[in-house]
Structures are given as C-alpha cells and as structure tokens.
Amino acid sequence: MVGVRGRSARSGGGGFVAVIPATLRKWAAIGSGAGLEIAGPRGSESLRVSAVRVRPQGARVLGSFTVEDFEHQPAAAWGADYAAFLGKLGIRHVAANVVLPRHEVIIRQLTLPGVSGQDLAGAVRFQIDGLHPYNEEDVVSSWTRLEHSSTVLVAIVRGDVVQRYATLFAEAGIKIAGFTCSAAATYSALRMFGKTPPAEILAYEAGESGVEIYGESPSKPIFSASFNAELERAAALASGELRFESAPPLHALDELLGANPALPYAAALASACPRLCLPLNLLPLEQRQTSSPMVWVPSTALAVLVLLAAGATTALPGFENRRYLGELNAEIAKVQPAAARAAAIDREIGLTRKRTVLLDSFRARSKADMDVLAEMTRLLAAPAWLTSLELNAQQVAVSGETDQAAPLLKAIDASPQFESSEFVSPPVRSAAGETFRIRTTREASRQGALP
C-alpha cells in the first residue's frame, strides 16, 4: 500500500483490516500505544504526544504533553522527555504512530467499483500520478480501500518531508511504527470498538494555520480538508462537498472522539491496535519499527482467552441444539414403525371409502336411468313411438316418429328431469307423420347427483 518513487517501490492491495470479524472487533481491542501529531504553521510546528491503554470496554488516556517548536530544539532533549514520559507509564516498548501536518499531505479519493486484488493495486498506480502536482520521482504515497466500500483513500506526501521527520525522530531515539494522515486516524478511531458511527458526520479542529474539517456522508465516505477561513465558512464549504441529506451538527474533533488532543489520541489507538485500523502508512517499510513481541505475550494470552470464551459462548447454543435434535430424532425413530402402520391403515380406509362411494354411485345411476326411461315413456305416449334411445350420465338422445314433433320439446322441458331440449336435426315429414331426433340434458347431472 506504500509507493516511493525514485528510491524504492512497493505495491500491494489494501482495505480496512477485516481479519477480525466486526462482531469480535471490540474484544480484540487490547493494547497500549503512543500517538504523535505534528501541528501548527509550517516552520514552527509543535509535537503533541498522547499515550493510551485500550481494552474492550474502551480506551483510557494515560497522559499527554506538547513540545513547542520541536524542530528548532535539540532532538536529544525532547527525545529524552518522551522516553521518560513512556517510562513513567510503563510502556517504553511501544512504537508510536505519527499524524503528519495536514498542509504536507494531499488526500484524494478514488471510486473503483468492481475492482479488487492485483487489479486494484494496478488501477491505483495508474491514476496516482494525476493526483498531485509534485515531481513524480520524489513522492511517497499510500492507499487503502475503505471498509464495505468501493472508495479508495489515497494519501500523498513529498519524499523529503517524510525523510526529514524520519531523521528527526531517529535522532531523538523515538521508535516510529508509521506516518499517517488525520483522515485515516479519525476514520479508524470512530470504528475502533466495532461501533457504527452516524451516516453523516461533520467535525472540525481549529489551529493557528487554519481550520481542518473532517466529514462523512453517504455520497462521500470520507472527507478531510484544511481551510484558511472562518469556521462557519469552512463548515459551509465542507457541507457542500459532502452533499448532506440533512445537515448534521458541527462538533469539535476532540468532542467527537472523546479525547483532547484528538489526533494524537487517534494515532495512539492505531499504535495500540494496528490490526483494527486503516493500514495507511507513509513511512517506508524499512524504516518502520514495532513493539517488542515479548511485551505482547500477556495481552495476547488475555485476548486468546477472551476469544475462546466468546467462541464457547457462541458455540454452546449450537451444541445444545444439536444434542436436542439428536434426542428428538431418536424418539422419532422409536415411534416410526407404529406411525408407518397407522399411515398404512389410513390408506386402506381411504381406499375402502372410495370403493364404497363408487358402488353407491353405480346403484344410484341404475335407479336414475330407470327413472329416465319411465319419464320418457310417459312423455312420449302414443301416437309417438321411438326407434332409439341413447342414455349417458349427462344427456339423453331419442329418435322416433309422431304426428307433430314440435310440441315434444316443450313437453320434455316441462319435466323436472330434463332441460335445454333441442332437435339434433330438423323434423322430417314421413308417410305416418314426422320423424325426429331430440337431445336433452339431464337435470340431475347438473346438480351433481349422477357420477
């Protein structure tokens, strides 16, 4: 995630460190750290120092102090003060994180949806030359993808600035883990303990060199800019960039983070728990230092115990559910034969009931058919006579001869057993009268009485 043009080059893909799930991030927040902020106007910067101790329930500021105009003072002197400060707190082993001056760092955002892995690194390198006005042979850059976002935060600084400060801290004997920017430190501090900050944030930090505004919004996941203007004017300009849906309240940065001074505190959190913060580091890899690994043994052991306890708490309900399910399956297996026999008996009963209904319907059909024959015999009395009669469950068709066929339709429809009578073909005159063929619908079939 760090590129140094002209002297060395390193590449890699980055994102918010998510090796620890968000649900367990709070329980992994264990450690002690120191944070430094280089603040003030160019040429007379001050060095603000804070130390913190981090636990899952929160962070506690152990102490802080400020070295005024530190670049023009002997490095050995303020380095000794820093060492005594850490020694008094019992954290001499820690390597500090440094927030570089806002006026020295260019912060840019790239939106790269659908790009990941090696493609992401290449895409960032392809665009980075157009993000700064410096000579590309002397630029240090670092980038990282924001959590759950397609936005890539890019920080750029001149190589001579990095080298100057690295040399100063080396002369002072201060162990430095990395150089970062105020935006990355603030973004990480807000999410240190697994909490979700508000969707819209607007905060400021006023100094001698101007007002720095930090913000977050749905349209711009992270924003940081320095304004040489009044606070109200700077806040209005920043709000326009962030395109807020509803203007959030303006907070001081120390009020937002709950510590004063705010940026050294945020840098100290990153020093204490680097795996929970944005891995944006402008210090070349060969110059980075880490805390003594043996010092972390007690904290690591405690963290492991906490994670094991959390894992056991999470796994216990699942274990109980599996045991209960096993007992239920065993009981089901015991009654399964009886249940199968009962199901077989139910099937036999259903089959027998269907057969009984079928036989009853056939008996009812025979009686209904005889009633139809009797009714037709009554309706088609002499001098009419039939040559054929076709009968099914829905209709009756009759053919025959009579002296006048037209009145037959009305006579048949008048019967409660028939309706919708019609001639299949027109009546034909014959020597004895008229031959006819009539089709009628059985009324009983429409009412569902026939199968």
What pLDDT does 216 receive?
A: 95
What pLDDT does 22 receive?
A: 61
**Closest-CA residue to 195 (of 117, 122, 258, 280):** 258
Residues of the chain with CATH 3.30.1360.100: 369-446
What pLDDT does 7 receive?
A: 38
- pLDDT beneath 50, residues of the chain: 3-19, 294-295
What pLDDT does 13 receive?
A: 41
What pLDDT does 296 receive?
A: 53
Q: How many whole angstroms separate alpha carbon 76 and alpha carbon 445?
A: 112
For 434, the token pair is 């008229």
Q: How many whole angstroms separate alpha carbon 232 and alpha carbon 210?
A: 12
Could you please state the CATH topology (level 3) that the domain comprising 369-446 is classified under: Gyrase A; domain 2 (3.30.1360)
**CB-hemisphere CA count at 13 Å for 378?**
12
CA dihedral 15, 16, 19, 20 (to 10 degrees): -170
Dihedral sign for Cα 68, 72, 78, 82, please: positive
Helical spans, DSSP H, in 282-424: 297-379, 407-413
Instruction: Check: CB of residue 185 under 8 Å from CB of residue 263.
Output: yes
Three-state SS at 237: helix
Residues of the chain with CATH 3.30.420.380: 2-197+260-291
Which numeric CATH code is attached to 2-197+260-291?
Answer: 3.30.420.380
As a whole-number percent, the residues of the chain with pLDDT over 90 amount to: 45
